[in-house]
Amino acid sequence: MTISNPAASAKLWFNRLAPYRTAENGRAIFELLITLIPFLALWAAMWLLLGMGQYWALLGVIPGGGLIVRLFIIQHDCGHGSMFSHKTANTWVGRFIGILTLTPYDHWRRDHALHHAGSGNLDRRGIGGDVHTLTVEEYDALPKFEKLKYRLYRHPVVMFGVGPAYVFIIANRIPLGSMKRKMPWISTLTTNAGVAILYGLLIWGVGLKAFLLIQTPIIIIGASIGVWMFYVQHQFDETHWSRTKEWTREDAALHGSSYYDLPAPLMWVTGNIGVHHVHHLSSRIPFYQLPRVLKAHPELKTVGRLTIWNSFKTVRLALWCETREKMVSFSKRKTACA
């Protein structure tokens, strides 16, 4: 089967991927251990070397941030019920990792489900942690101050630097947008309690200075990598957006999510989440099954493919042009969306 008629084939692909929607508990445990143990070992090694005055050891915060991303992907699959075959295992592993990633698991899981339910729908933007995206017409209709705010929000320093740190360190401490419901409060406060206990023990054991030198950059680097991945998986030139009347979940999933074709080591660190079009099409496929999907169906590698070099070019994209059905930059919105 080819993708000669993408719109017609999206639902067929969903059905065709059914054999991969199977969790393997042994593999899931293995993936968890080969992520968590290296993370803990790296953290301990940095602390020991710092104690000997070897500050070069702090270079380890870079792979440490990568391993935090991989832990987040495991938590992410738990949220989809795809990591393990048992709901209880998914729930409690997800909650535990949520303490390490500073993410209230149950609250995040609900919001992320909303993201999947409305991704690519122009009439359902702004739910589930979506990157705020305006159409060209909406942006041009804004007053000057609102345009400035949107430009600042989309600036790379904010989008991939200040913003991720704010979200994971500060915003995740309060159930923003869900203040009136009990579950978000319970999820957030219990996660905060777990973070307080874990961080308190670490500070007591290794000292405040070592804790700040190691843990702070790990979280900031991991957050920035995570937001970058989320961004390039939906904010690329030929992504798919449509109004509710024309929108279908399968078509938006397959063509509104990219295939971020990363080198094997980076694909491992990011838990294969770069195979995002397949993940959105069938979120019950565990991340450790996604390479099997591409191997069996190589034609999917041509759908929404982004290389690392091409992904850097997506940073300039900020607005959706409804007439041309593509993302455009601020500077080219008049000519590219005429």
List pLDDT tens digits, range 160-207: 999 999 999 999 999 876 667 888 899 999 999 999 999 999 999 999
Instruction: Give me the mean pLDDT over the 301-319 stretch.
Output: 93
Instruction: Give me the mean pLDDT over the 15-40 stretch.
Output: 95
Q: Which amino acid is at 126?
A: G
Q: How confident is the model at residue 276 (pLDDT cuts 50, 70, 90)?
A: very high
Residue 317 has pLDDT above 50, yes or no: yes
Q: Which helix (H) or strand (E) holds 136?
A: helix 136-140
Q: Which of 30-44, 127-141, 259-273, 283-297 is the least confident region?
A: 127-141
pLDDT, residue 46, reads 97
Q: Which helix (H) or strand (E) holds 156?
A: helix 156-157
Q: Which residues of 289-317 are buried (b: 16+ CB within 10 A; e: fewer)?
A: bbeebbeeeeebeebbebeeeebeebbeb
Q: For residues 155 and 318, give the distance between their C-alpha atoms in angstroms, rounded to a whole number.
A: 9
Residue 3 has pLDDT above 50, yes or no: no
pLDDT, residue 8, reads 46
| The two three-digit tokens of residue 32, written as one number | 């968890």
Residues 6 or more apart whose CB falls under 8 angstroms from that of 61 comprise: 46, 214, 217, 218, 221
Residue 159 has pLDDT above 70, yes or no: yes
- In this predicted model, which residue has the larger pLDDT, 237 or 201? 201
Q: Would you tell me how many other CB atoms lie within 10 Å of the CB of residue 237?
A: 14
Counting other chains too, the contacts that 176-183 makes at CB distance below 8 Å and 24 or more residues apart are 178/107, 178/111, 183/106, 183/107, 183/110
Average model confidence (pLDDT) across the chain: 92
CA 151 to chain centre: 22
Using an 8 Å Cβ cutoff, are 133 and 197 in contact?
Answer: no
Place of tokens 């050891």: 57
Residue 5 has pLDDT above 50, yes or no: no
pLDDT, residue 213, reads 97
pLDDT, residue 151, reads 96
Q: How confident is the model at residue 138 (pLDDT cuts 50, 70, 90)?
A: very high
Instruction: Give me the mean pLDDT over the 79-108 stretch.
Output: 96
Residue 2 has pLDDT above 60, yes or no: no
pLDDT, residue 6, reads 47
pLDDT, residue 14, reads 84
Instruction: Give me the mean pLDDT over the 201-216 stretch.
Output: 96
Residue 304 has pLDDT above 70, yes or no: yes
Place of tokens 């007439």: 323
